[in-house]
Amino acid sequence: MDRKELKFLTTEVDFVVKRVSKMINLFETGQLIIDPEAQRKLSKAHMKEIAAYLRRALDGKTYGAYFPALTASRRSDGIEAILDGQHRLFGAWEALKQIKKEISLVEKVLEKSGTITLSSIIMEIQEPNSETIAKEIRKVPYLFLQLQEAVGLITEDDNIQTSVSEEVIEKALQHLLDKLKEQEALILDSVIPMVVYVGLSKKQEQQAFHDFNQKGKKVAKALAISFNHSDPMVNVAQLVCQFDSVKQYVQPFNEGTKLKGDYLFLFSTIYTTVSTFFGVTKNKPTEKTEDMISEIEDFFTIVMNSIPDEVPAGTLLKHAGTLPGLAMFAKRMKDTNSVSWRNTLTNALENIPLLDNNTQFVRFGRAAVNPDQTVRFSGSNGAISAVVKTFESLATLLDENGVELLTAYETLSKQEPVPIVSEQVAEIKQEEVVELQEEKTLESGDANTIDDGMSASERAIIQAIQESSERVLRGSYTTIGKDLRFARSSITEAIKKLEKKGVIEINQENEQKILTLRDA
C-alpha cells in the first residue's frame, strides 16, 4: 500500500451536542440512521437494560446516569450513521416511551375513564396480582412500584396496607403524574454528545465499528467497582478497607491490579466478600447499614485474627476466591437455625489452616494438586466452592454458648450445595446464555418469547398437560405456578392467553382450575 494512502480514518471531525428530543426527531425523519452494513443488530434486551438504568437514575436510586459520547459518520448527502452508541440512544427513547405510556394511564385513572378504578388500584397495592385486577395494571408493574412509594410519601406510614383510601390514591396518583411529567421533560431536554467523522468510506465505517468494539480495554475491575457509588455494597467495602485489622493487607489502586508484596487482597476481593456475606441481590442491602457494618466487622476481625504476625508464604488468602469462600461459609452458618456463625467460624479457622499445603482442601473441597503436592484452586469460583465444602465438612457447628449443636447438621445438609465450577467455565457459560437470550430477543422481539409465538410459561402449561396421565392440569393459579416454577402472575396470564387462542379449555371444580387441551 502506498504510504500516502495511509491516514487516521479521516481528516475532518465534528463535535456536536444534541438533545434527546432532537436526536429522536432526526431519526424519525431519516437524517440520523442505523446502517446494518456498518452496525450490529439492535438488541432489545440491552436497550431495555439501559432504559431501566435511566429510570433508576430518574427515581433517585443511583448517582445519576452517564453516557460516553456517541460516534457517527457524516456522509456526502448529509445523513449521519451511528457507528457506536445506538443502544444508548434507543435506551433513552425506550425509557421515554415507558414514561409516556404511564402518564397516559395515570391520566385516564384520574379522569375516571377506562377499566382501571381507584378501588382496583387499592386492591393491587393490598393484594398484588389479584385475579380481579384490570389487565392494564399488569402491563405496567413498574408504575405500581412507584405508586406504592407515592402512597407511602402521602401517608407517611410504613404500613400502607391499613391507610389506603381512594382520597389517598388520588393524591398519590397526582404526585406520581407530576413526577412522571418531570422525568419526561428531563429525558427530552438531556443532551448526548456525539463525535462525527466526516468523509469515511463504507469500509472505513465498518473498520471503525470493529475497532471501537474490539480495541478498547475495560477498566480494571477493582477500580470500576470502587467508583460505583450507586451500589451500597461499594460503600460498605470501602469502610471495610479502612478497618485497622484489614487496611494493611489491601493493595492501593495506584499499585496495580496484580497482588504485590505482602498484600493479601484487592478492593474487588473485599467487595465480592462483602456482597457474598450479605447475599445481596440487585444492589439492595438486606439489612440496616449500621447492623451490616457491625456484622461485617466481626467477620473480618475473626478472619484477620487467624493470620499469624508473620504472614506465611503459602497463605491461600492471596487467592481471590478464598475470602469470599469464607464469607459464603459464614452466610450459610447464619442461615442455619440456632448456629452461631461467629463461634463456628472462629473454631473452624483454628482447625483448618488456610495454607497451600493443607490437603484438607483436596480431600473435602475437591481442589486440585500441583506437582509439588500443594493445593491448586480452579479459578475464583473453584476456590469458593473448595473452601465452603471443606469448612462444612470439618467445622463443628456451635451455638451462642460455644456448645456443639448436633441438630444443625441435618438442617445444613438440606441447603443447596455449592457447585464446583472454574471461573473460565463460568464465563463461557454466561456468554452462551447471553448469546441465546439475544438471539431469542432479535427473533421474537421479547426475551420471554420463543419462536413459535408462545411464552415459556405457555409452553410449560401445554407440556404439563401432555405429560399428565389424565391429560389434565388441576389446581389454583398459585399452585400451578409453584408446580411449574413460574410466578403466579405469569401463569395466570399464560392460562388466559391459551384459552383465548383456543388451545386449552378451562373448567372449575371445587375452587380448582381444570385445564385440558382442546384437541385432546
Residue 335 located in a structural domain = yes
Would you place residue 448 in the very low, low, confident or very high pLDDT band (cuts 50, 70, 90)? very low
Is the pLDDT score of 229 beyond 70? Answer: no
Is the pLDDT score of 450 beyond 70? Answer: no
Mean residue pLDDT across the chain: 79
Residue 236 located in a structural domain = yes
52-57 mean pLDDT? 87
* Selection from 37-41, 210-214, 434-438, 451-455 with the highest mean pLDDT: 37-41
Res 339: pLDDT: 92
Same-domain check for residues 81 and 211? yes
Same-domain check for residues 186 and 228? no
192-213 mean pLDDT? 82
Is the pLDDT score of 443 beyond 50? Answer: no
Return the SS3 of 191.
strand
Would you place residue 181 in the very low, low, confident or very high pLDDT band (cuts 50, 70, 90)? very high
* pLDDT tens, position by position, 387-435: 999 999 999 999 999 999 998 888 887 777 655 544 444 445 444 444 4
Give the domain range for residue 397.
Answer: 221-426
Single residue among 146, 181, 216 that ends a domain in this structure? 216
Phi and psi based region of residue 30 (left: phi greater than 0; alpha: psi -120 to 50; beta: remaining): left
Same-domain check for residues 212 and 232? no
Res 327: pLDDT: 93
Q: Are 98 and 58 in contact (CB under 8 A)?
A: no
Residue 439 located in a structural domain = no
474-478 mean pLDDT? 83
Same-domain check for residues 157 and 58? yes
Same-domain check for residues 149 and 262? no
Res 1: pLDDT: 39
Count of CB atoms within 10 A of residue 238's CB?
A: 15
159-177 mean pLDDT? 74
Res 265: pLDDT: 92
Residue 442 located in a structural domain = no
Is the pLDDT higher at 15 or at 359?
359
Same-domain check for residues 293 and 417? yes
Res 6: pLDDT: 43
- CA-to-CA distance for 443 and 449, rounded, in angstroms? 9
Residue 281 located in a structural domain = yes
Residue 441 located in a structural domain = no
Same-domain check for residues 188 and 236? no
> DSSP string spanning 213-266?
HHS--PPPHHHHHHT-TTSHHHHHHHHHHTSTTTGGGBPPGGG-SS--TT--B-
What is residue 68's DSSP assignment? Answer: P
Same-domain check for residues 295 and 405? yes
Q: Which of 205-209, 367-371, 498-502 has the lowest mean pLDDT?
A: 205-209
pTM: 0.52
Number of domains within the chain: 3
Same-domain check for residues 400 and 415? yes
* Selection from 249-253, 329-333, 514-518 with the highest mean pLDDT: 329-333
Same-domain check for residues 229 and 209? no
Which amino acid makes up residue 85? G
- CA-to-CA distance for 391 and 325, rounded, in angstroms? 9
Single residue among 188, 216, 244 that ends a domain in this structure? 216
437-442 mean pLDDT? 46
Res 142: pLDDT: 67
Residue 440 located in a structural domain = no
* pLDDT tens, position by position, 276-317: 898 865 444 445 567 788 899 999 999 999 998 888 889 999
Res 442: pLDDT: 43
Same-domain check for residues 225 and 194? no
Same-domain check for residues 471 and 485? yes
Single residue among 216, 239, 261 that ends a domain in this structure? 216
